[in-house]
Amino acid sequence: MDQPQNLRDPDALDELEISGFLAEIMENIRQQLEINKHEISLSGLHALASIQRRPLALSSVLRYDRGLSLIVELKRQSHRGRILVDRYDPVEQAHLFENLGVQALSVATNPLYYQGEIHHLTLVSQETRIPVIRNDFVFDRYQVHEARAAGADAVILIAALLGEYRLWDLVSITQRLRMTAVVQVQDEQELARTLKSDPLVIAISNVDWRTFDVDLSRTTRLCPQIPRHIVVVSMGGIRTPEDMAMVAESGIDGVVVGEGLLGMPNPEETIHTLFSLVNPDNRAVR
C-alpha cells in the first residue's frame, strides 16, 4: 500500500474526536496497556509469536468459500453487559462452531466489556483449523503484536477509534505480521478514511457505537462503495432470515453473527434458519 504523505506519529490520537462510550473504553484500555507493557516487553511478544503457527489467510477463506461465509463471535457478554453464555468455554464453543462448518471465529479478548481474555485466542487457535480473529478495542501497536503472540490470524480495527494515520499504521503492521486487518466502519466518513489504508477486509457495522441503534441499511448503502478486490462482511443486528437476505443482497462476502447464535439451544438449526433465504442448500454450514 502507498504510505500517506506527511506521516505523523501514529501514537497520537490523530486529531480524531472520540467521546461517550468509546472515550470510556480508550481510557480503561490505556491503563491496562501500561500494565501489560511492563509485564511483557515487545521483544517478549516477538518470541511468543515465533512459536505460533503461520497465520491463516482470512480474506482468501471468506472470498473463495462457497456461498455466504459465516464468522461467529465468541464472547461471554455483550459490550453493554448482557450475559450471552452462562458457562462460557471458548474452546468448547470453538469446537462446536468449527464442526458446524463456519468459516472463521472472532474471539473477544477484553475482560471488562466482553469478559474475555487474551489467552482465549491461544486456546482457540491451538484447537481449531480455521482463522481466528482478535475482537477487542485495538488502537495501539502493542495490541497488534499481542494478538500475533497469542496466535491470532486477524485483528479487528474499529475505524471510529482511529484517525487516518493511526489506521494506516496499524493496518500496515498487521499485514507485515502476515495477519489480516478487518477494519470496522459504520458510515461514509469512516469508509473513506479506511480505503486509504487499503485493507484486505472491511466489516460494515450495522450498530452505531454512539447510540447502539441497529440499521441494516448501513450494509446495503456502504457495500456498493467498496472496491471489489476488498472482502466485505456485515456485522451486528442480523437475527432473522429476512435480515440475512437484506444484507446478502448488497453483494457482501460474509456475515459476522454473535448474539444471535450464542447460548441458543440448537445453534445448527439456528444457522440453517438464518441462511434459509440466501443459501437454500445451507452452504454456510457443511
Residue 78 within a domain: yes
Range of the domain at 253: 20-274
* pLDDT at position 49: 96
The per-residue b/e assignment along 152-181, b for 16 or more CB within 10 angstroms, e otherwise, is bbbbbbbbbbbbbbbbbbbbbbbbebebbb
- Nearest alpha-carbon partner for 118 in 144, 92, 85: 144
How far is 32 from 36, CA to CA, in rounded Å?
6
Residue 57 within a domain: yes
* pLDDT at position 282: 46
C-alpha cell at 93: 464453543
Instruction: Give the chain's domain count.
Output: 1
Residue 68 within a domain: yes
- Nearest alpha-carbon partner for 182 in 278, 84, 59: 59
* pLDDT at position 14: 58
Domain of 119, CATH number, reads 3.20.20.70
Contact 26, 123 (CB under 8 A): no
CB atoms within 10 A of CB 230: 17
Q: Is residue 90 pLDDT above 90, yes or no?
A: yes
Partners of residue 72 on adjacent β-strands: 105, 257
pLDDT digits (tens, 9 = 90+) for 92-150: 999 999 999 999 999 999 998 899 999 999 999 999 999 999 999 999 999 999 999 99
Got the DSSP string for 130-186?
S-EEEES---SHHHHHHHHHTT-SEEEEEGGG--HHHHHHHHHHHHHTT-EEEEEE-
Residue 7 within a domain: no
* pLDDT at position 284: 53
Got the DSSP string for 28-85?
HHHHHHHHHHHHS-HHHHHHHHTTSPPPP-HHHHHHHSSSSEEEEEE-SB-TTS-B--
Q: Is residue 164 pLDDT above 80, yes or no?
A: yes
pLDDT digits (tens, 9 = 90+) for 15-64: 677 878 888 888 989 999 999 999 999 999 999 999 999 999 999 999 87
* pLDDT at position 3: 46
Residue 5 within a domain: no
Residue 76 within a domain: yes
The band of 83, judged by pLDDT with boundaries at 50, 70 and 90, is confident
Q: Is residue 226 pLDDT above 70, yes or no?
A: yes
Residue 12 within a domain: no
How far is 162 from 14, CA to CA, in rounded Å?
8
Q: Give the pLDDT mean for 186-215.
A: 95
Residue 153 within a domain: yes
